[in-house]
Amino acid sequence: MSAPLNGKKIAFLATDGVEQIELTRPWNDLQGAGATLELVSLKEGELDCYHHLDKAKSFPVDSVVSNVDANSYDALVLPGGVANPDALRMDEHAVSFVKQFFNKGKTVASICHAPWTIIEAGMVKGRTLAAWPSLKTDIANAGGTWVDEPVHYSDGLISSRNPDDLDAFCAKLIEVLAA
């Protein structure tokens, strides 16, 4: 099996309330493609994942967002869930971390409600992205365009609507990072 992402280091930014499949599926696919992954969160210890509104598994945090820099990574993955991006957008370090990736022209991958953090970072204006349908107005108010597509890629941003889009989301993420 080839490992097209050998040498690539990817940060996953998440906190309690993250939708488990939106964390684990891209993680497993990227790991299988040879990438080195790091789970970055708001605090040390573990973060609690959810399956919709039901608590699921907990996962160990590798790094705290206040102690990391985008220069250490090739890309950023922002899984969704409702509570996860809502908490992230309230943390100045998380917002700054997201902004760094955009300012450095690095790949950012966002699914479901994750664009809330991108909106808070001021990085949606002029961009087109897919997200959970309830974010359509938030994206428009931030100067972006919402699209109803399984995966959308432009200007370094890979975005999808929901867990049903994970096949397309993960495939596009690997394709872009392998290029």
Contacts of 163 (CB under 8 A, 6+ apart): 19, 21, 22, 25, 111, 112
For 3, 4, 117, 159, 174, the CA distances from 98, given in Å and listed in that order, are 27, 25, 8, 14, 20
Decide if 49 is catalytic: no
pLDDT of 1 reads 52
Our CA angle for 74, 7, 163, nearest 5°, is: 55
Distinct helix (H) and strand (E) counts, the chain? 6, 12
Q: Are strands 75-78 and 9-13 parallel, antiparallel or unpaired?
A: parallel
Which CATH number applies to 9-178: 3.40.605.10, 3.40.50.880, 3.40.50.720, 1.10.3720.10? 3.40.50.880
Within 10 Å of residue 127's Cβ, how many Cβ atoms?
A: 20
pLDDT of 2 reads 67
Decide if 152 is catalytic: no
Mean model confidence pLDDT for the chain: 97
pLDDT in tens, 4-23: 999 999 999 999 999 999 99
Q: Which of 52, 93, 113, 152 is catalytic?
A: 113
Domain ranges of the chain: 9-178
Contacts of 103 (CB under 8 A, 6+ apart): none
Checking if the pLDDT of 151 tops 80, the result is: yes
pLDDT in tens, 31-68: 999 999 999 999 999 999 999 999 999 999 999 999 99
Residue 116 has what DSSP assignment? H
| 3 band by pLDDT with thresholds 50, 70 and 90 | confident
pLDDT of 18 reads 98
Whole-number CA gyration radius for the chain:
14
Q: Which of 49, 51, 52, 112 is catalytic?
A: 112
pLDDT in tens, 88-144: 999 999 999 999 999 999 999 999 999 999 999 999 999 999 999 999 999 999 999
